[in-house]
Amino acid sequence: MNKLILLTLSTPLALASCGGGTTVAPQTHTQPSSVNGTVSAYASGTGVIELLADDTQAKSANNPALVSATLNSNGTFTLPLPSAAAVAPYLSNGSSAVTPSIAGCTGSLTNSTPGAQAYSFSTLSANGLPLESVQGSQSSTSLVIHGKLWIYETKANTLGGSLTCTQTSNNQTETITFTASAALQAGWNVLALDASGAVSGSTVTLNIALTGLDDAPSVWYTGDNLGGLALKSTSGTAIKTGLGLLKSVLRLH
């Protein structure tokens, strides 16, 4: 399941300010109680939108919907976020800061609160089809991505750290760097996923930053038709690899 790496430190994390000498902690943000959104180009009549326990897998007896809501014929929906009891069986376990055991990865994501546990998701299901709240733009040599992650925390803590992963597949080398800086409150939070990348021949470099975000309605896209992105292109392949690797990192714990 898409669970955030929650890592234990003895002192809270902080970011150095541009002036040097002082530290600035990430600010907290408005907490959500539901996911309010619109499915882009939706034309299938009234349907059902669901959050599955493991948002990377299809619905099954072992992967039930935690919550569901009506998907209106105009593509709008309001999906209540799951209760603490609903996410309890799927929570991660707090642990010390480590380098994940994914080949080609160095560094770590860090968590300031001992024993904090979390559940996270970025994908919903609309009439059985996966949805992502991801938009961006791309050319033959560059790409920009904006997305969201929803995170439930059992305790307030600060997410930080940096992780770099390099993978080679289909004669393409991809280097993906994740950085995190977010003050997470107990209960539900929203994180912004902002990425920028460059494509040079068979080499792709992708930088992904996770930061806190105020709750706001989202546009959701299906399949290979994410907003402004052609996922079957070379840079699109890098996007899918980066997002897939991010989900692997987030649910390692």
Please give the residue that has the higher pLDDT: either 167 or 16.
167
User: Contact, 110 vs 97, CB < 8 A?
Assistant: yes
Q: What pLDDT score does 147 carry?
A: 86
Average pLDDT over residues 47-58: 93
Please give the residue that has the higher pLDDT: either 247 or 66.
66
113's torsion region: left (phi>0), alpha (psi -120 to 50) or beta? beta
Q: Answer yes or no: is 1 within a domain.
A: no
Q: Answer yes or no: is 193 within a domain.
A: yes
Q: Poorest-confidence range of 8-22, 60-74, 155-169?
A: 8-22
Q: Answer yes or no: is 21 within a domain.
A: no
| Furthest-apart CA atoms within the chain: distance in Å | 57
Q: Which domain holds residue 160?
A: 7-14+27-250
The neighbour count for residue 189, using CB atoms within 10 Å, is: 27
Tens-digit pLDDT profile for residues 127-182: 999 988 887 777 777 778 888 889 999 999 888 888 888 888 777 788 888 888 99
Q: Is 242 helix (H, G, I), strand (E, B) or coil?
A: helix
Q: How far apart are the first and last CA of the chain?
A: 10
Q: What pLDDT score does 145 carry?
A: 82
User: Contact, 37 vs 132, CB < 8 A?
Assistant: no
Q: Which residues contact 128 (CB under 8 A, 6 or more apart)?
A: 58, 59
Tens-digit pLDDT profile for residues 97-136: 434 556 778 887 788 887 888 898 989 999 999 988 887 7
Is the pLDDT reported for residue 80 higher than 80? Answer: yes
User: Contact, 145 vs 228, CB < 8 A?
Assistant: no
Average pLDDT over residues 18-22: 37
Amino acid at position 245, single letter: L
Q: Answer yes or no: is 20 within a domain.
A: no
> What is the pTM (predicted TM-score) of this model?
0.78
**Banded model confidence at residue 250, pLDDT cuts 50, 70, 90:** very low
Q: Answer yes or no: is 74 within a domain.
A: yes
Q: Answer yes or no: is 105 within a domain.
A: yes
| 85-94, 119-128, 225-234, 239-248, range with greatest mean pLDDT | 119-128
Q: Answer yes or no: is 161 within a domain.
A: yes
Average pLDDT over residues 59-88: 97
Residue with token string 């996007």 = 239
The neighbour count for residue 79, using CB atoms within 10 Å, is: 19
How many structural domains compose the chain?
1
The chain-wide mean pLDDT, for the chain, equals 77
Q: Quote the tokens at residue 211.
A: 């930061």
Q: Answer yes or no: is 50 within a domain.
A: yes
**Cα torsion 174, 189, 121, 93: sign:** positive
With a pLDDT cut of 70, the percent of the chain lying above it is: 73
